[in-house]
Chain A
């Protein structure tokens, strides 16, 4: 039971709750325009504050972290049977939302064993907000240990629906982002069904989501290379295996040539030698042609020049001439003769040399061919090692491809597997629902009782429990024309059912909170009946029902004979003055 909502800002309107029905009325001051309405008086803010103090996550968008409210520390006093005096106050501020202060230590630190010394746990204690949610799960919902899929926060969102997360769209969902399986798991717990079976859907849908992402990844150009489709991989494996086979054959046929390196050097040498021979040849050939022209040059015509030269000598250098003409002619002849013989010899030697070189070239060519053939046929030891390394790498890559192929196959097969799992789960859940007739009928009977109180006994109203393909389906039915008003009343009845069943069996707390949005557009007779029903049920079950209400809605109900005396809270919110709202100031 919630006792008191307060803040350390004196302007804040403190709200004291009592057992049974509590109506927080927001009134429109006469003369306030339509524009003022009662939005902003703080009805929904109260709901937000309750959540904030009951461990909701606080981010930049949440109300208490807004600039105007950050400094204010809000407090909620609530029943806590295990605490001294049975009451506990929790305090939290928007400035430091990660820490909450408890008025006393209620096992916040969970001593593993009895302490040797009496630890003073009477004083206030600061604990992390996450720890606080754990404590709430234990205290309000009897949840301890690990319970994957169940969350106290989610269940609180059912018991205190928030307009900010569109919790009034459907009875079985508390926000638009929530997965059906998630919501159904928590509802199953509150209604006393097998929540683990219901939670099984979560795993399946998680697996399915993973599968879907992987499938998309296959189509993605980058991720596709990592995942790959079986068809592609099959092709790649074939090619890679072919490579491996080829390499293996190469290695089998490989002949190691022992002096590979020497042979390579020999080949280079031969090559160099042949080239040197060629250049020597070209020099000799030029010399040869020179010599041959020289041989041609020497003719007897030169002798004809000798006489005029000699005569000129006589004329120019008469007494210098030491030889007679015949002498000179002999000298001339001997030179020429020698020269011719000499040239002939030289030509011959040159030609011999050329011929010799040609032969040498021939021999070298043959040798080079042999060496090169040896080099081509065989290889060095290093080459064999390199081949073997390449083979090892290829084999590894084939192995990797095979693994990926298996993964891709699994991925393609997992669709069927998931389908099969889902069918198994559906069957198990269906059997379970049949066997839990007591629990389902308890809830159904309550729901139909509530609905008939509002709409008369002529209406058919029941809860449908069904093992759906993607979650446990809990569908409240009320025969109707499906107007918005009746939709809201279905939520009202469903919440009441859920809260009562959970509280009866100690699986949930004893309070239920409804925002005034729930009563928007509800016919006045139903509104009156709903308020009376809520009060009655709260009384009967020893529970607390808190609702915020617009004053004109209340007037509608009163016109229909609703007696609101003693049921509305003394605090009234109005928008006439700036300080009329919940916080006592506008921001």
Chain B
């Protein structure tokens, strides 16, 4: 799930999606904004494979587990190491 497998297209793997989210997170954003921007970015990149909101949340979870994103005052914050 993190990396592309037989069942998961490269552009749908959680790490790829997480990377896409991080690219959008240049400043604190609401969850909705992050979600909306991700959708826009994916359609611009021509990634046809579906990413549901749940999948988006998983990608955020991965980023959080890796310490790249935090939640503060209802806003997602990028954390640079």
Contacts and interface: CB of A to CB of B under 8 A. Distances in A.
B10 to A, nearest CB: 15
25 contacts: A297-B52, A297-B53, A298-B53, A298-B54, A305-B1, A306-B61, A308-B1, A309-B2, A309-B14, A309-B61, A312-B2, A313-B2, A317-B66, A321-B65, A321-B66, A327-B64, A328-B61, A331-B60, A331-B61, A332-B60, A335-B57, A339-B32, A339-B53, A342-B32, A343-B32
Given A338-B74, A339-B31, A309 B58 contact: yes
A113 interface: no
B65 A310 contact: yes
B61 to A, nearest CB: 5
Given A309-B14, A313-B2, A322 B67 contact: yes
Given A309-B14, A312-B1, A336 B57 contact: yes
Contacts of B2: 309, 312-313, 316
B72 to A, nearest CB: 11
A323 B65 contact: yes
B30 A331 contact: no
Contacts of A369: none
A338 B67 CA distance: 20
B32 A313 contact: no
Nearest to A329: B61
A445 to B, nearest CB: 131
**Chain B residues touching A, majority SS:** helix
Contacts of A332: 57, 60-61, 64
A309 B1 contact: yes
A301 B58 CA distance: 11
Contact of A309 (B35, B52, B62): B62
Interface string B41-78: 00000000000111001101110111100010010000
Contact of A342 (B31, B52, B54, B65): B31
B65 A313 contact: yes
Interface string B6-34: 00000000100000000000000011100
Interface of B: 1-3, 14, 30-32, 35, 52-54, 57-58, 60-62, 64-67, 71, 74
Looking at A294, A327, A331, A334, which has the most chain B CB atoms within 10 Å of its CB?
A: A331
B71 A346 contact: no
Looking at B30, B32, B61, B62, which has the most chain A CB atoms within 10 Å of its CB?
A: B61
Contacts of A308: 1
Interface string A69-113: 000000000000000000000000000000000000000000000
Contacts of A335: 31, 57, 60, 71
A3 to B, nearest CB: 125
A28 B32 CA distance: 138
B54 A297 contact: yes
Nearest to A336: B57
B1 A346 contact: no
Contacts of A327: 64-65
B66 A313 contact: yes
Contacts of A342: 30-32
B56 to A, nearest CB: 9
Contacts of A317: 66
Contacts of A310: 61, 65
Contacts of A338: 31, 74
Nearest to A322: B67
Given A316-B2, A323-B65, A335-B60, 13 more contacts: A299-B54, A309-B1, A310-B65, A312-B1, A323-B67, A327-B65, A328-B61, A328-B64, A331-B60, A332-B64, A335-B31, A338-B74, A339-B31
A10 to B, nearest CB: 120
B58 A305 contact: yes
**Chain A residues touching B, majority SS:** helix
Interface size class of A (residues with CB under 8 A): 20 to 34
A332 B52 CA distance: 15
B30 to A, nearest CB: 7
A302 interface: yes
Contact of A331 (B52, B53, B71): B71
A269 B1 CA distance: 55
A330 to B, nearest CB: 9
Interface in A338-379: 338-339, 342-343, 346
Interface in A253-308: 294, 297-299, 301-302, 305-306, 308
Contacts of A343: 32
A299 to B, nearest CB: 8
Contacts of A306: 58, 61
Nearest to B69: A331
Nearest to A304: B54
Nearest to B66: A320
A338 B30 CA distance: 9
A368 B47 CA distance: 47
A328 B65 contact: yes
Contacts of B35: 339
Nearest to B67: A322
Given A309-B2, A312-B2, A321-B65, A302 B32 contact: no
A297 B57 CA distance: 11
A349 to B, nearest CB: 12
A312 B3 CA distance: 9
A504 to B, nearest CB: 128
The list of the 7 closest CB pairs from A to B, nearest first, reads A322-B67, A302-B54, A331-B64, A297-B53, A328-B65, A323-B65, A312-B2
A14 to B, nearest CB: 123
B54 A301 contact: yes
Looking at B3, B14, B30, B62, which has the most chain A CB atoms within 10 Å of its CB?
A: B62
Nearest to A301: B54
Nearest to B30: A342
A320 B66 CA distance: 6
B51 to A, nearest CB: 11
